[in-house]
């Protein structure tokens, strides 16, 4: 009976996360399509270029704590307020330093291009308020994500209306860049309010807790930076080696191919606490849960990628129009990148439970270097398609090739392969 109640709670949590994220996806996607049509490939590419900066530095701002904080809540329920408060302070310091660094890099790299630097600055303010996502993980650890989804949905609706006003009044690309930061501000406020209303523990800061979190998470800082580097390198190098227009084509492909991530991240987010708890109780159950997660993520990704590959021409034509037809080839490649990338996300709970964070740098550092080299040679020849191909090759390397070279990570590669082959996996992930 207790297992059934627990399983129902997991299903309910997934449903709330999924419903909230699908709603956000639909609102954001619809407004995004209209915005892309209005701005055109060049200006939309400029927004995508600004996003590349924030994508990279957001991983630094998180300090890798996002990957271990749920387990900290589970292992130390009496110190939740201390964990959250300490995390917020650490992230705030790193976020402020990152914002200054972003502006400095843009002034140097995009010297003389005031519009680009200004757009990047406005867009990047969001990283200061992204620290409040910490509250999400507290609700996640308790399988109470419905409160997060309800509050953030209200914030997203307000921002959607704001962007529609920008479109109706014909505002410039600068205002669209600022809208990203305002969205994060609205979400931050809503998360804090719901945290207080649901009786969240009193926040506090502890130097010893800061050392504890950083000692456990610093390996994820390096791996996160490397992942963000090869997620951002493509757009950054496209801007410098090609044009804003090529970045625009690439950004459109990223937007479409990442739609399935709403479902996949909801599943991963909700099953992470379940996997972590089973690690402490039953080894066979723990391995089974991991394989089930990998199988679900892989086969959903494959089905979505096949669909997008077959109908990419129709999708681009209907949604974005003739201006973006050059995105078709990019989309057909990037959709397969997404299929493999979420296997990497699904691997994180296993990494944390096995305490192998220190091994991640041996995967992501060489992969990031490979990605830069591949982009350098492919972009001049294939443009945005070259950048997409570089990302796909790199992602396959992070899941299957480089982990095989590390003895401690080989069991995980075996788990993933067995999951793909459906070995030892029950049809119902919640059956016992």
Per-residue model confidence as pLDDT tens digits over 157-170: 777 788 788 877 77
Task: Give the pLDDT of residue 253.
Answer: 86
CA dist 386 and 425 (Å) reads 37
Q: Determine the average pLDDT of the residues in 348-362.
A: 82
Residue 366 backbone dihedrals phi, psi, to 5 degrees: -65, -35
Residues of the chain with pLDDT > 90: what percent? 3
Task: Give the pLDDT of residue 223.
Answer: 66
Query: In the structure, what pLDDT confidence band is assigned to residue 431 with cuts at 50, 70 and 90?
Result: very low
Tokens 């443009």 belong to residue:
383
CA dist 424 and 361 (Å) reads 30
Task: Give the pLDDT of residue 11.
Answer: 65
Task: Give the pLDDT of residue 14.
Answer: 63
DSSP class of residue 201 equals P
Task: Say whether pLDDT at 148 is over 80.
Answer: no
Q: Determine the average pLDDT of the residues in 326-341.
A: 87
CA dist 328 and 314 (Å) reads 9
Q: Tokens representing 292?
A: 């089930």
Q: Tokens representing 290?
A: 């991991």
Task: Say whether pLDDT at 5 is over 50.
Answer: no
Task: Give the pLDDT of residue 430.
Answer: 41
* Secondary structure, 3-state, 239-295: HHHCCHHHHHHHHHHHHHHCCCHHHHHHHHHHHHHHHHHHHCCCHHHHHHHHHHHHH
Query: In the structure, what pLDDT confidence band is assigned to residue 310 with cuts at 50, 70 and 90?
Result: very high
Picking from 227, 309, 295, 225, the residue whose alpha carbon sits closest to that of residue 264 is 295
Tokens 């790193």 belong to residue:
94
Query: In the structure, what pLDDT confidence band is assigned to residue 432 with cuts at 50, 70 and 90?
Result: very low
CB half-sphere exposure, 298, CA atoms < 13 A? 18
Residue 170 burial by Cβ neighbours in a 10 Å radius (0-12, 13-18, 19+) = exposed
Q: Determine the average pLDDT of the residues in 386-391.
A: 89
* Cβ atoms of residues 209 and 83 within 8 Å: yes
* Cβ atoms of residues 68 and 222 within 8 Å: no
Task: Give the pLDDT of residue 2.
Answer: 44
Residue 405 burial by Cβ neighbours in a 10 Å radius (0-12, 13-18, 19+) = exposed
* Secondary structure, 3-state, 318-363: HHHCHHHHHHHHHHHHHHHHHHHHHHHHHHHHHHHHCCCHHHCHHH
Cβ-based neighbours of 9, under 8 Å, separated by 6 or more:
143
Query: In the structure, what pLDDT confidence band is assigned to residue 16 with cuts at 50, 70 and 90?
Result: low
Query: In the structure, what pLDDT confidence band is assigned to residue 227 with cuts at 50, 70 and 90?
Result: low
Task: Say whether pLDDT at 373 is over 70.
Answer: yes
* Cβ atoms of residues 376 and 237 within 8 Å: yes
DSSP class of residue 426 equals -
CB atoms within 10 A of CB 80: 18
What pLDDT digit, counting tens, does each position of 17-54 carry? 667 667 777 777 777 788 888 878 888 788 888 887 88
Task: Say whether pLDDT at 381 is over 50.
Answer: yes
What pLDDT digit, counting tens, does each position of 314-323 carry? 989 888 888 8
Task: Give the pLDDT of residue 306.
Answer: 92
Which of 12-16, 266-270, 348-352, 381-385 shows the lowest per-residue confidence on average (mean pLDDT)? 12-16
Residues of the chain with pLDDT > 70: what percent? 89
Residue 206 backbone dihedrals phi, psi, to 5 degrees: -140, 125
Please tell me the chain's helix, strand, coil percentages from 3-state DSSP, rounded to the nearest 5. 90, 0, 10
CA dist 120 and 103 (Å) reads 7
CB atoms within 10 A of CB 418: 17
For the chain, the C-alpha Rg in angstroms (whole number) is: 21
Q: What is the mean pLDDT of the chain?
A: 80
Cβ-based neighbours of 299, under 8 Å, separated by 6 or more:
none
Query: In the structure, what pLDDT confidence band is assigned to residue 7 with cuts at 50, 70 and 90?
Result: low
What pLDDT digit, counting tens, does each position of 77-134 carry? 788 888 888 888 888 888 898 889 888 888 888 777 788 888 888 888 888 888 888 8
Cβ-based neighbours of 379, under 8 Å, separated by 6 or more:
237, 238, 241, 242, 386, 387, 390
What pLDDT digit, counting tens, does each position of 413-423 carry? 898 888 888 88
Residue 243 backbone dihedrals phi, psi, to 5 degrees: -165, 170
Task: Say whether pLDDT at 299 is over 70.
Answer: yes
CA dist 344 and 359 (Å) reads 14
Domain boundaries, the chain: 2-420
Packed helices 114-124 and 80-109: angle between N→C axes, nearest 10 degrees: 180
Most confident stretch, 42-46, 193-197, 244-248, 370-374 = 370-374
Task: Give the pLDDT of residue 27.
Answer: 76
* Cβ atoms of residues 167 and 112 within 8 Å: no
Task: Say whether pLDDT at 143 is over 70.
Answer: no
Query: In the structure, what pLDDT confidence band is assigned to residue 9 with cuts at 50, 70 and 90?
Result: low
Question: 297 or 428: which carries more pLDDT confidence?
Answer: 297
């Amino acid at each position: 009976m207790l297992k059934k109640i627990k399983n129902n709670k997991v299903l309910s949590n997934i449903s709330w996360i999924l419903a909230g994220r699908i709603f956000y996806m639909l609102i954001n996607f619809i407004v995004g399509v209209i915005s892309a049509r209005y701005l055109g490939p060049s200006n939309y590419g400029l927004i995508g270029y600004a996003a590349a900066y924030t994508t990279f530095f957001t991983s630094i701002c998180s300090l890798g704590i996002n990957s271990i904080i749920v387990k900290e809540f589970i292992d130390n329920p009496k110190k939740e307020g201390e964990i959250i408060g300490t995390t917020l302070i650490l992230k705030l310091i790193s976020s402020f330093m990152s914002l200054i660094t972003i502006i400095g890099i843009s002034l140097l790299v995009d010297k003389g291009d005031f519009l680009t630097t200004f757009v990047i600055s406005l867009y990047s303010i969001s990283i200061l308020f992204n620290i409040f996502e910490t509250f999400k993980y507290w609700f996640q650890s308790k399988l109470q994500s419905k409160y997060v989804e309800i509050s953030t949905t209200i914030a997203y609706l307000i921002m959607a209306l704001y962007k529609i006003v920008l479109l109706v009044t014909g505002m410039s690309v600068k205002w669209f860049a600022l809208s990203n930061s305002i969205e994060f501000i609205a979400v931050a406020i809503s998360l804090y309010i719901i945290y207080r209303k649901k009786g969240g523990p009193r926040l506090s800061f502890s130097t010893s807790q800061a050392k504890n979190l950083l000692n456990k998470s610093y390996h994820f800082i390096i791996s996160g930076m490397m992942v963000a580097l090869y997620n951002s390198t493509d757009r950054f190098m496209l801007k410098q080696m090609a044009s804003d227009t090529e970045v625009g084509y690439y950004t459109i492909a990223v937007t479409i191919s990442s739609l399935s991530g709403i479902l996949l991240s909801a599943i991963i987010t909700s099953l992470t606490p379940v996997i972590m708890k089973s690690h402490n109780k039953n080894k066979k159950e723990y391995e089974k849960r991991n394989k089930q997660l990998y199988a679900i993520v892989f086969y959903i990704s494959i089905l979505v990628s096949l669909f997008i590959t077959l109908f990419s021409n129709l999708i681009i034509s209907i949604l974005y129009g003739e201006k973006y037809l050059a995105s078709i080839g990019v989309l057909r490649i990037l959709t397969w990148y997404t299929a493999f990338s979420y296997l990497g996300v699904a691997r994180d709970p296993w990494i944390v439970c096995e305490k192998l964070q220190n091994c991640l740098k041996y995967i992501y550092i060489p992969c990031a270097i490979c990605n830069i080299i591949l982009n350098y040679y492919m972009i001049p020849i294939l443009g945005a398609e070259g950048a997409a191909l570089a990302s796909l090759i790199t992602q396959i390397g992070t899941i299957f090739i480089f982990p095989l070279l590390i003895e401690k990570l080989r069991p995980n590669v075996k788990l993933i392969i067995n999951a793909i082959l459906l070995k030892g996996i029950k049809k119902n992930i919640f059956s016992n």
